[in-house]
Structure 1
Amino acid sequence: MKQMKRLGRGLEDFSHLFLSSRSEKGEPLSGTKQDVACKSEGIGKPARAICIASDERVGERVFFTVNLALEIARQGKRVLVFDADFSLPRLCMLLGFSARNSILHFIVRNGEEGIVAEGIDGVKLITLDADISDLSSLSEGELNSLTRCFRNAEEEAEIMLINTSPGFIHHMRAILKASSEIIVITPQQVAEMINAYGVIKTIFQVNRDVHIGIVSSRISVPVQAEAVFEKMQRVVKKFLHKSLYNYGYLPEDKEISLSMARREPLSITSPSSNTIKCIREISQYVLKMDGCGREKHPVEENNFSFFERLFSKSSV
């Protein structure tokens, strides 16, 4: 309870603040895209792990994760996607994979099948279809084999995107704790911005030093995206005393749901669409920040990989 109070008041206390789009003192807010302009450090380090989180909009989050992975891969980066929504893994369907290469199949087959599937533009996928807490029942040999598969997959990647579960169940908290960077998809409607604030507050309770970026969604005109970020930044600074970063936005586009229904990434079927252009800009911003546009998170100082942090005794 004390920690809750330190991180801010209840959602009902400040909903009116999401209705105004100006900072209290009229000062420009930090964390915008213009704050980042430097070169990437390159590889030779653990993969940069980026979680994608949202409140309940599962389809929107899955769509964004898949298409962001493809756009990053097309800029010459080796990309690994970790589908951590074990309640209903979806990325394998959208990327055209069978669900055979998954952690559950690895366990059932006694390690005879790998956990990594490779698909479009070299993007690799690991599907988490078993609760992380269940892995404690594995034998030492099975767990070592699984850990080795994770480590090898991550060592071959430069960027890893993690699709999270909508709820903050035990294994999800372990993933958030192991993360150094999280993108929260934030719709422009006031009620959903309040829900997004609740997600952000929970993330900071689990991981106080994490770097959180905002991707505004269902945007009709770009000025709406700036307004969403400004409102979120103002409220988070006021009540949580933290800063956010503006990664970009997703436009209002019926093709998003249609591409999900077709199980085809929009980046493949309509690479010139406005939505994909927006995701491409987000991917470019992500790469500009790689290693030099954000403060280094404490969990990165020891140079452990994401999966080493995830399976450490302090996380699971």
Structure 2
Amino acid sequence: MEQVNRLGRGIEDVSRLYLSDTPRSDGDKGEKGEAALRRRRVVRIINPGSALMGAFFTANFSLELARHRHRVAIFDGEAHETDGVEAMLRNVVYPESGAEVLSVRLYGIPDISLYRARPDGAERLFELARAAQSYGEGFWLVVNTPHRMDDLVQGPAGFDAVLLSTLETSPLLQCYAYVKLIRQIDPDSRISLAFIDPASDARAMDAFSRFSAFALERLGACVDYLGRIVRDELMDRSIADHRPLVLCCEPSAARESIVAASRAFLQQRGALPPE
């Protein structure tokens, strides 16, 4: 129980099932449809430790996908005004407020649609996920996922996931629980992990090696590595100013690390367009 108690908000009701190594019965697995055999067009961004950093990564990651000429839509599952994706993109969205769907319009990249959380958010997410699969290659629906496991259980299957974590024990345990849950929802989902602000690349790689080996041994889950997200002064300023970091012109290790993580995501899926 000590391990379970350390997992934090959103874990308690499902910890027995999702931390246990006992598999679900065959009746709980569900059937794989044709969509399970195609490359996922839905990507869930999950940061158990910080809603703010989850929204920050979602915003900048989405802009990087668009910079590589992919069409992108964002579904922001975080309803809190200060912690959502809209807050991270406040200076580049149109219209600025009062609309169900906002648009990010920047010269040189495809427009990005931003769908905000609403009371009917679950139904809208299902609609967007179906539409994303029908668009096929070159389109991504990026979902800023709140730290509630029932959001995954009740939401559409057929997604890839990007997990964000520090090197602390609690968020790593929560990420392990999410890997377990995602594997049970859809064994074909591809899972990636990035560390935010570890002390060094060496420590981050060591932590990933141990985490991925444990996930493979205990769950049979392969986890991809997106790298280390550096936190610097320019990142903090971009959050405070509601301006995406990847749009800043000043030198920044944080911006370079997000660009590298986004590129790694596309490379791992064979989705980088020709230079």
Q: Same fold (TM over 0.5)?
A: yes
Find 1:158's aligned residue among 121, 128, 139.
139
Counterparts in 2 of 1:270 and 1:174: CA distance versus 1, 3 Å: farther
Structure whose alpha-carbon radius of gyration is higher: 1
Counterparts in 2 of 1:130 and 1:202: CA distance versus 1, 3 Å: same
Match of 1:34 in 2: none
Residues in 2 aligned to 1:251 and 1:278: alpha-carbon distance in whole angstroms: 6
Aligned partner letter, 2:147: P
2:85 paired with 1:91: yes
Larger CA deviation: 60-69 vs 126-135: 126-135
Larger CA deviation: 56-65 vs 73-82: 73-82
Q: What RMSD in Å do the two structures reach over aligned CA positions?
A: 3.4
Counterparts in 2 of 1:2 and 1:130: CA distance versus 1, 3 Å: closer
Deviation at 1:282, TM superposition (A): 1.6
Aligned pairs for 1:236-315 (under 5 A) are 236-270=215-249, 272-291=251-270
Deviation at 1:52, TM superposition (A): 0.7
* 1:205-240 superposed Cα distances (whole Å, 9 cap, x missing partner): 333332111111112321122112112112212322
Counterparts in 2 of 1:154 and 1:188: CA distance versus 1, 3 Å: farther
For residue 235 of structure 2, give the secondary structure of its aligned residue in structure 1.
helix
* 1:89-142 superposed Cα distances (whole Å, 9 cap, x missing partner): 72122212334332xxxxxxxxxxxx352333434133242244775xxxxxxx
Match of 1:129 in 2: 117
Deviation at 1:279, TM superposition (A): 1.3
- Asked whether the 8 Å contact 2:235–2:255 carries over to 1, the reply is no
List runs of 5+ in structure 1 lacking aligned partners: 9-44, 103-114, 136-142, 294-316
Counterparts in 2 of 1:257 and 1:159: CA distance versus 1, 3 Å: same
Aligned residue pair count: 234
Aligned partner letter, 2:76: D
Residues in 2 aligned to 1:52 and 1:256: alpha-carbon distance in whole angstroms: 18
Counterparts in 2 of 1:284 and 1:58: CA distance versus 1, 3 Å: same
Aligned pairs for 1:138-287 (under 5 A) are 147=127, 151=131, 155=135, 158-169=139-150, 171-175=151-155, 177-270=156-249, 272-287=251-266
Q: How many percent identity over aligned positions?
A: 16
Counterparts in 2 of 1:164 and 1:271: CA distance versus 1, 3 Å: farther
Larger CA deviation: 217-226 vs 119-128: 119-128
List runs of 5+ in structure 2 lacking aligned partners: 1-15, 24-37
2:104 paired with 1:118: yes
Aligned pairs for 1:96-111 (under 5 A) are 96=90, 97=93, 98-102=96-100
Deviation at 1:75, TM superposition (A): 2.0
Deviation at 1:275, TM superposition (A): 1.1
Deviation at 1:191, TM superposition (A): 3.2
- Asked whether the 8 Å contact 1:186–1:193 carries over to 2, the reply is yes
Match of 2:4 in 1: none
Residues in 2 aligned to 1:262 and 1:133: alpha-carbon distance in whole angstroms: 28
- Asked whether the 8 Å contact 1:86–1:131 carries over to 2, the reply is no
Deviation at 1:274, TM superposition (A): 1.0
Residues in 1 aligned to 2:197 and 2:174: alpha-carbon distance in whole angstroms: 15
Counterparts in 2 of 1:191 and 1:263: CA distance versus 1, 3 Å: same
Aligned pairs for 1:23-62 (under 5 A) are 48-62=41-55
Deviation at 1:187, TM superposition (A): 0.8
